[in-house]
Structure 1
Amino acid sequence: MTLSKKQGAGTDQQALLDAQLQLWHHTIAFVKSMALKAAVDLRIADAIHLHGGSATLSQIVTKVTLHPSKIPCLRRLMRVLTLTGVFSVNSGAVVDEPVYGLTPASRLLVGPGLNQTPFLTLMLSTFFVSSFLGLDEWFQHETGPSPFELANGRDIWTLSGHDASFGFIMDVVVKECGDVFRGVGSLVDVAGGLGGATQTIAKAFPDVACSVLDLSHVVANAPTDTTVKYIAGDMFESIPSANVVFLKV
């Protein structure tokens, strides 16, 4: 009986430790995502690729923008990225100089084809990450904006249209759904704001005559260093003629 009680107590303690470990995994899981974001932003995969697919830390440093004082921190970052399978690591010929290589995952961050960099940049951006930080507040209201709107003040398409730097959303659209724009002669982006989305389309398909329709006070602030034509007007009154009307809802 005493032995049985001890075994039961041991089982309960192990279950408690397993439960605690599970919570800790969930709590610090964001570290893996943020490490991946840093790798994408620093273009570490490109740096390794430029060295033939494998590189030491000192070789990686020559290809990325990094302050010299942060080199020890880069080693720690690479440790996270190798443990999570983004990169591989092997012992190098020089003591304490590991050699990092590309894995099937990090090969998707270099070159053309199935490059996932635009998608990862989008999903790991502050715009999207901040949306999840306010989920508790969003659940406390019966109606209202989406979590994205609550965090950023605008829906994703409005933000894309008014912030040209947010055009990487359209990078993903053009990459994944670019066939819909092929053969199109002209396109008008209705309520397109400052044309962040349209500029991406115009850059990817220079043969498409792209224009943006929005209210006069919006068009007044439109950029001038672009091939996109900006038209002041109200879409409820008239829409300029074009092969394609681009309306984001």
Structure 2
Amino acid sequence: MCLKWMVELHIPDIIHNHAQPITLPELVSILQVPPTKIGQVHSLMRYLAHSGFFERVRIHHNIEEKEAYALTAASELLLKSSELSLAPMVEFVLDPTLSDSYHQLKKWVYEKDLTLFDISFRITLIFNEAMASDSQMSNLALRDCKLVFEGLESIVDVGGGTGTTAKIICEAFPNLKCIVFDRPQVVENLSGSLNLTYVGGDMFKSIPKVDAVLLKWILHNWIDKDRIKILKNCKEAISNEGGKRGKVIIIDVREMKKLFMEAGFQDYKTSPLTGYLSLIEMYP
């Protein structure tokens, strides 16, 4: 909750805009914190510094030496003004809407065709914002894996949301035809471009035919039975005509590898990405 508090009050951005480490009096003045709450804010900032989100430094102000807070690599990733900000992802993970959905289990049992997330009306908006921020971070990883996409003429990003990842791929490979495939209500009002189109559908039924299928942060959401169904549909979607060797590209945790053979794939190759993710190429 300290992390949620920090992001919601834009504290990393306040320190960044301050252009130097910020003292507690300066911070509470900008935040307009009531005098009765200054002690609690001090405790929260010290806890966040202890957790590695801020660095406590000593600065000279006039003739006095004061304690101040500076950004660290962790808090720089939470700058909302940054193109690579992970602040929306933090807000999604810690949003009450997400936790509230798990208090709706009784309603979910009796409501036909509703998922837990559908019951909480705000979840779609904050989820799409979170996935977009994660995709911007993935931009760095994808630039290092350009060989994965070379030689492809078409690719479908399954569960691609608003198309942030697909747009990154389109920019890097202007001749590659990209399809963003997601639920109809997600893509119905989105506009494509010359090499980017949006298609609504159900990945458990069928996936558009292409040279390659991209699954980014999809499989970990499902139980093994559903994951295998998705992978089998991906296998059906990729083309092996004219000497092409279609493939499925997965960006997720490495533990997914055990399911590949069960879904009918014969070979795979793993490339490490930033953090705990891997890029996995699967071949039928």
TM-score (norm: length of structure 1)? 0.51
Q: Which has the higher helix share?
A: 1
Correspondent of 1:82 among 37, 40, 45? 45
- Confirm whether residue 101 of structure 1 aligns to residue 69 of structure 2: yes
C-alpha change, 1:129 and 1:202, in structure 2 (3 Å) is same
Change (3 A) 1:204 1:219: closer
Q: Is contact 1:219-1:230 (8 Å) kept?
A: no
Q: One-letter code of the match for 1:187?
A: I
Question: Compared with structure 1, are the counterparts of its residues 129 and 139 closer, same or farther at alpha carbon in structure 2 (3 Å cutoff)?
Answer: same
Structure with higher Rg: it is 1
C-alpha change, 1:159 and 1:47, in structure 2 (3 Å) is closer
Q: Does 1:35 align with 2:2?
A: no
3-state secondary structure, aligned to 1:108: helix
Distance in 2 of aligned mates of 1:71 and 1:239: 53
Output the aligned Cα RMSD: 5.1
Query: 2:14 aligns to what?
Result: 44
**Gapped regions of structure 2 (runs ≥ 5):** 220-284
CA 1:100–1:107 in 2, change beyond 3 Å: closer, same or farther? Answer: farther
Task: Identify the residue that residue 121 of structure 1 maps to in structure 2.
Answer: 88
Change (3 A) 1:182 1:153: farther
Distance 2:102 2:158 in 1: 31
CA distance in 2, matches of 1:33, 1:101: 15
Report the alpha carbon displacement of residue 132 of structure 1 after superposing the two structures with TM. Answer: 1.4
Aligned to 2:120: 151
Measure, in 2, the Cα distance between the counterparts of 1:216 and 1:139. Answer: 27
Amino acid in the other structure paired with 1:110: E
Name the CA distance, whole Å, in 1 between partners of 2:184 and 2:104: 36
- Quick one: which of 134, 151, 167 aligns to 2:132? 167
List gaps (5 residues or longer) in structure 1.
Answer: 1-29, 62-67
**Deviation at 1:122?**
0.9
Relative distance call for 1:237 and 1:148 in structure 2 (3 A) is closer
Spell out, residue by residue over 1:114-159, the C-alpha distance to the aligned partner (whole angstroms, 9 max, x if none): x9x74453133387432213544437865886654442476x7x98
Q: In 2, Cα distance between the equivalents of 1:56 and 1:238?
A: 55
1:230 aligns with 2:230: no
Decide whether aligned partners of structure 1 residues 37 and 148 sit closer, same or farther in structure 2, where only a CA change above 3 A counts: farther
Structure 2 residue 73 is matched with structure 1 residue 110: no
* Preserved CA contact (<8 Å) 1:56 1:97: no
Quote the residue 1:212 is aligned against.
Answer: 180
Question: Match for 1:242 among 211, 223, 234?
Answer: 211
CA contact (8 A) 2:187 2:200 kept: no
TM-score, normalised relative to structure 2: 0.46
- Between the aligned residues of both structures, percent identity stands at 13
1:130 is aligned with what amino acid?
T
- Name the structure with the higher strand share: 2
1:150-207, Cα deviation, whole Å (9 max, x unpaired): 42476x7x985xx568512433555678766653144212464xx42x3234236722
Shift in CA distance, 166/217, structure 1 to aligned 2, threshold 3 Å: closer
Structure ranking higher on relative contact order (CA contacts 8 Å, 6+ apart):
1
Query: Closer, same or farther in 2 for the Cα pair 1:108/1:237, shift >3 Å?
Result: closer
